[in-house]
Structure 1
């Protein structure tokens, strides 16, 4: 996209968008503007020239018309959880979807329609009123849009696949301002692209998901252990890989959370069934003698609140991701913990950081071939993630480098691209400047051809880089 016009009067947006219901906020608007640029990670707060809080697809189309005409840099904010600044921009325009949070459930058809600015809390609570649920994020103040368009792993993934595997259709505003529906039967090529690379193709204003009966409560919660139990926890993770039936999940990792700020191993367990069956399945962990057991039988809609406190909005944060295979060698994991813990302990204010092994069953995920949609992270491996939290801005580059190196080491067990076809890189954990081939693999060529079809001027360039390329027909 061309550089912004240097003489554009951003205050004119208030008059230009007067016929819509959009609210335009500028730095002169005080507290309301300041609240509008807050993000989950403090280092992603950027001072936009204008924040346009849209309320409808028409608002989005009208805003994009100004962006196109005046060549204004822009980005789109859904939940504001990106740790790489995808939802923020300096000096340009933020199209803010946070006023579009309506959720409609069709109990008979078992579908959920969620507007583009909804959070998973909105979806979980509304679906629960009808005894339904769909695959969603593990933190309920995460935006539906960002998580879904990048893939979407959740506690129900082992049974129903990814969020995008349960996406039935989207309503999307294209770079031209045109409003279209994309599904398997309407603009199917666009639907193929949206499921994995949606932020590169337009502004999704409505998501429609398949939902499933979820009347029963679930057994879940954190078990906390001292680090000397790492070998036994790894052995259970190896066993989990072979015995789960898709109704369980295990997220385990290292941190040093308050109030003790001492190193521990956190095991978040999940069983979609009774407490008795859940305790039997995870018996090996209970027998290890956790220093804290917060597991219980809870309604499904409370499940995605369990990480909320540890995922609060204070501090600077960065996600990073890789892949690992099971079985893991316990000694290898002990070494990773030692390296992680030494780094965190030597830097003040980093105790809430985490290295997490997301052991979410993938058999259901792998029933869908990588070429069926642009999402390309399907293979015989699991995601490993870092979430670093700190407060001193002078540490930004050091933490970024350490995270990248630690993930490279943690991912040594997964040569996923050569053996499994998947890229081994979850898009929602990838930096904005990552090479498109590392996220989309063999799907890049088709994506760039579709980018030329739907956004030839590369208006939506504030994300994983895709170059619009015309389809070359060989006679």
Structure 2
């Protein structure tokens, strides 16, 4: 029934009276609605439903089930897995649900399901607050979620309400429902921070790695360092990038990063900036054109400079042998993990906590014929880069620490165990409780498994 030409007219009628839109090919705004951050993920959906409320979502889910129409959910559309796009069904698009409300007394931030981090950062800053977010502002410090389940019911999940569901959605939310609102804990952040980007020629790479090793030993949690390789415009020449962050004064920040600054970067944009601008520092490197592919792994410090140079050489050889790939990036996210490790891998579905850091690739290209070649190269490069951590290949290490793969960087060809480790079994049990018919089947696959009762 989902393929009949007038089936979406039924949905339009069911949503009459709301501000929701049902866009089909030929509708004004349809072409824009299927655009994604990566062209690699753009698919021609049968319909895009721009919802404005939990009621709209419930009606759309019921319609999809009744008419056996597959669907996906789009939040910010920033992933490279393709899980927010579809060819053979409809998209539940949350982009009209971007309201952010701050309770300055309770220091909480409520963000609707379609918000991007820029919305959250900017509104929180009006009250001198900040919360934990991403490294770019067009992407867990969660108190509760409001979520529409497969049944169409809207529930609040928190430590005191549906705590098992709250456990699941912190890491595996797309498998359990459509989150219409998040409530985050905010923290006082009234002062600006020292941050910016240092750009070096590749010959400085050994000294940079030595500083990274020193950073690991000296950081007290008020600093962060993202560093990696690219050949960005306008020069399109190989460079080593280092984005620095210090939550404190300019003089203290310069002193902490003095070894890097004294290496003689060819560009230095560091300064005191409002905290809400921090997550926008990488935006220039992650524009919305071209095809893109995330990949993720893990690394431990200290690193051998020669080992990093070999990764750099592999990366450059591949990028330079293909046209228009100069904006590709490999990024070592040296963000202190002490606070992260205060929560165990069993306390929520998210299972990537360990004595290691994330390493990510973001390849950008324009020729569709390269899709598989780039995916394979990214996987192999990350496997090499992750050798220092051991968590990706060694099941014994994995059972003690996290999985070594950040779920947002993973592709859809990985298993639930790859992302959730020992938590996968519990997630499958909860999937049976909250979505026994596997309505939310797109993205990373979680198969509902009924609980076995032993008499």
Fold match, TM over 0.5? yes
Report the equivalent of 1:444: 424
* SS across alignment from 1:370: coil
1:472 and 2:447 correspond: no
- 1:170 corresponding residue in structure 2: 145
2:319 aligned partner? 344
1:145 alignment counterpart? none
SS at match of 2:346: helix
Q: Deviations over 1:45-88 (max 9, x none)?
A: 10010000000000000100101111111000000011111111
The 5 Å alignment of 1:251-330 reads 251-330=226-305
**Counterpart in the other structure of 2:433:** 453
Corresponding residue for residue 241 of structure 1: 216
Alignment map for 1:76-95 (pairs within 5 Å): 76-95=73-92
Counterparts of 1:333 and 1:427 in 2: how far apart (Å)? Answer: 24
Aligned to 2:16: 18
| Structure 2 residue aligned with 1:27 | 25
| 1:15, distance to aligned residue in structure 2 (A) | 1.5
1:380 aligns with one of 330, 355, 361: 355
Residue number in structure 1 paired with 2:126: 129
In structure 1, C-alpha distance between the alignment counterparts of 2:9 and 2:357, rounded to whole Å: 48
Partner of 2:396: 418
Partner of residue 158 from structure 2, selected from 155, 170, 183: 183
- 2:328 counterpart residue number: 353
Alignment of 1:47-86 (within 5 A): 47-86=44-83
> In structure 1, which of residues 103, 106, 121 is the aligned counterpart of residue 103 of structure 2?
106
State the match for 1:427 in structure 2: 407
Kindly state the Cα deviation for residue 110 of structure 1 after the two structures are TM-superposed.
0.4
The reply on whether 1:115 has 2:112 as its aligned counterpart is yes
CA distance in 2, matches of 1:315, 1:340: 19
Counterpart position of 1:209: 184
Name the SS for the 1:458 alignment partner: coil
1:97 aligns with 2:94: yes
Q: Deviations over 1:134-158 (max 9, x none)?
A: 011121122xxxxxxxxxxxxxxxx
Find the residue that maps to 1:51 and give its secondary structure: strand
Q: Distance in 2 between matches of 1:57 and 1:426?
A: 29
Deviates more, 1:414-423 or 1:402-411: 414-423
Offset at residue 198 of structure 1 (A): 0.3
Residues 11 and 26 of structure 1 are in contact (CA less than 8 Å); yes or no, is this contact kept in structure 2? no
- Pair 1:222 & 2:197 matched: yes
How far did residue 387 of structure 1 move?
A: 0.3
Q: How many residues align?
A: 449
**After the TM superposition, which of the residue ranges 177-186 and 408-417 deviates more from structure 2?**
408-417
| Structure 1 length-normalised TM | 0.93
Q: Please list every run of 5 or more consecutive structure 1 residues that lacks an aligned counterpart in the other structure.
A: 143-162
Give me the TM-score of the superposition, normalised by structure 2.
0.97
* Residue aligned with 1:355, SS: strand
C-alpha separation between the residues in 2 aligned to 1:287 and 1:474? 67
* Partner Cα separation in structure 2 for residue 309 and residue 271 of structure 1: 21
**8 Å Cα contact 1:67/1:74 also seen in 2:** yes
Calculate the aligned-residue CA RMSD, in Å: 1.1
C-alpha separation in 2, matches of 1:211 and 1:234:
34
Post-superposition CA distance 1:173-232 (Å, at most 9, x none): 000100000000000000000000000000000000000000000000000001111111
**CA offset at residue 5 of structure 1?**
4.0
Contact 1:50 1:91 in 2 (8 A): no
- Tell me the secondary structure at the aligned position of residue 433 of structure 1: coil
Q: What is the CA-CA distance between 1:339 and the residue it aligns to? A: 0.5
Q: Secondary structure at the match of 1:113?
A: strand
- The aligned counterpart of 1:39 is 36
Shift of 1:17: 1.9
CA deviation after TM superposition for structure 1 residue 21, in Å: 2.8
d(CA) in 2 for partners of 1:241 and 1:473? 48
Partner of 1:159: none
Confirm whether residue 367 of structure 1 aligns to residue 345 of structure 2.
Answer: no
The secondary structure found in structure 1 opposite 2:387 is: coil
Distance of 1:474 and 1:279 partners within structure 2? 63
